[in-house]
Structure 1
Amino acid sequence: MSDIHLYTAQTPNGTKISILLEELGLPYKVTAIELSKNTQKEPWFLEINPNGRIPALTDTFTDGKPISLFESGSIMQYLTDRYDTEHKVSYPKGSREYYEVNNWLMWQMGGLGPMQGQLNHFNRYAPEKIEYGINRYKNETRRLYRTLETQLKSSTSGYLVGDRCTSADIASWGWVAAAKWAGIDISEFPELGKWVQRMLQRPGLEKGRHVPSKHNYEDIQQLTEEKIDERAAAARKWVQEGMKADAK
């Protein structure tokens, strides 16, 4: 029996865990972390995740003692390894597909998330527009989108690995769904666009993406570039303040 407690915020890294929990049908508690108030830097949270980032998760381990997990990829591996005994969104450990899923999970953690995250920063939150930084990270994010596009073109199931949706799809979905916020035109990647919509039809994803607050995918699609910049301006101040605090 799980005793899962998720500490999260409405970000692509945060929602991937709530989506996975819903896909697995696991009961869990949620604590919303207010990033704008630096709740993730408070001592109680650092006891769970010494890196001071979301998501984080606690559970009762098999030895009956608490376990703390951080880094979204690590949390996803823990949840599937321990709880996905029916392999709803995973494959048996040691199988070819198990390692292929791991490829894409590590790819997202080391590539797509960091590159698109930097694009978001330079395009939306930096105090000045630095074209080199924007172009550098936009081109790299587009390259990574092309990698996903190529993989999906060769898929017979419509998912990244094998015959089912896995944690590989869940890990990447939130980032690609935020393409417009990053300044990427998803129409350049038709297979990727269809995959985003296919994932939206999954009840687990639909429920999990709205944890701990409403996911804004549909709203963002209606906004102009100017309106997105206006919304980003509201967060720019606390992003800059957070950077100053981290530099101390």
Structure 2
Amino acid sequence: MIDVYSWATPNGHKVHIMLEECGLPYRAIAVDIGAGDQFKPDFLKISPNNKIPAIVDPQGPDGKPISIFESGAILIYLAAKTGRFLPKTDREKYAVLEWLMFQMGGVGPMLGQNHHFRAYAPEKIDYAINRYTNEAKRIYGVIDRRLAQSKWLGGKAYSIADIATFPWLRSYERQGIVLSDYPRLEAWFHKMEERPAVKRGVAVLASQRKPITDEKAREMLFGATQYQQR
């Protein structure tokens, strides 16, 4: 059984969805990032960047336990382990990896900044809000144009690129996005949210997550604790 150290965030949802899609047995271990669990020594041993998710698979590629952090790396690992959601031919595989890297390097960081400045920053900074809202709209446009050419983000088949991207778009309203402005993306979005494994994946640990309202949680997520040397 795979242990998944995670929380109900977009990056956590990616791995939960992938495990549900693959039908792999797993145990979700809550890492409450608002309480500072991500800084505990035992978690840092498997996730040195103090970010969720991370996994420990007792049956690694050589039959020995392996731990992996970074959600994109985990998706690639699980795809290799199961032979699912990552094509075998080089041309098709690299198309999927392109869009996975687009999510890791663009979708997640930019929409995360957008969400932060719109919802969590202690002061409203118009420049930052406008910058990241406009970048979010640009990214949604990139995805919409891709889906005008391709049934799924990575190509003709559902893949880890779709699994990685969908959780970041679920908060589109809080990102200042009108989904109907991107009709191909909107159709893909609704197709994704109706998948049974996606529904199960986004529900994992969701009942334990609470709104970020207290100062301790804000400090753990956005304050000086993040930058302490460990």
- TM-score norm. by structure 1 comes to 0.85
Percent of paired sites with the same residue? 42
Q: How much is the aligned-residue C-alpha RMSD, in angstroms?
A: 1.9
Q: Which residue of 2 aligns with 1:226?
A: none
Does residue 136 in structure 1 map to residue 131 in structure 2? yes
Q: Which residue of 2 aligns with 1:110?
A: 105
Q: Which residue of 2 aligns with 1:185?
A: 178
In structure 1, stretches of 5+ residues that fail to align are 217-230
Rounded Cα–Cα distance in structure 1 between residues aligned with 2:214 and 2:12: 17
What does the per-residue CA deviation read over 1:44-94, in whole Å, with 9 as the maximum and x for residues that have no partner?
A: 10011111100111112133322110110000011001222xx3x2211x4
Rounded Cα–Cα distance in structure 1 between residues aligned with 2:67 and 2:211: 32
Rounded Cα–Cα distance in structure 2 between residues aligned with 1:244 and 1:190: 41
TM-superposed CA distance for 1:162, in Å, is 2.6
Rounded Cα–Cα distance in structure 1 between residues aligned with 2:208 and 2:44: 26
Rounded Cα–Cα distance in structure 2 between residues aligned with 1:78 and 1:23: 14
TM-superposed CA distance for 1:132, in Å, is 0.5
Q: Which residue of 1 aligns with 2:157?
A: 164
- Given the superposition, is the C-alpha separation of residues 67 and 233 from structure 1 closer, same or farther in structure 2, using an over 3 Å criterion? closer
Q: Which residue of 2 aligns with 1:213?
A: 206
- TM-score norm. by structure 2 comes to 0.92
- Given the superposition, is the C-alpha separation of residues 138 and 79 from structure 1 closer, same or farther in structure 2, using an over 3 Å criterion? same
Equivalent of residue 169 in structure 2, options 164, 176, 193: 176
- Given the superposition, is the C-alpha separation of residues 52 and 206 from structure 1 closer, same or farther in structure 2, using an over 3 Å criterion? same
Q: Which residue of 2 aligns with 1:81?
A: 80
Q: Which residue of 1 aligns with 2:218?
A: 239
In structure 2, stretches of 5+ residues that fail to align are none
- Given the superposition, is the C-alpha separation of residues 95 and 52 from structure 1 closer, same or farther in structure 2, using an over 3 Å criterion? same
Segments ≥4 residues shifted beyond 3 Å? none
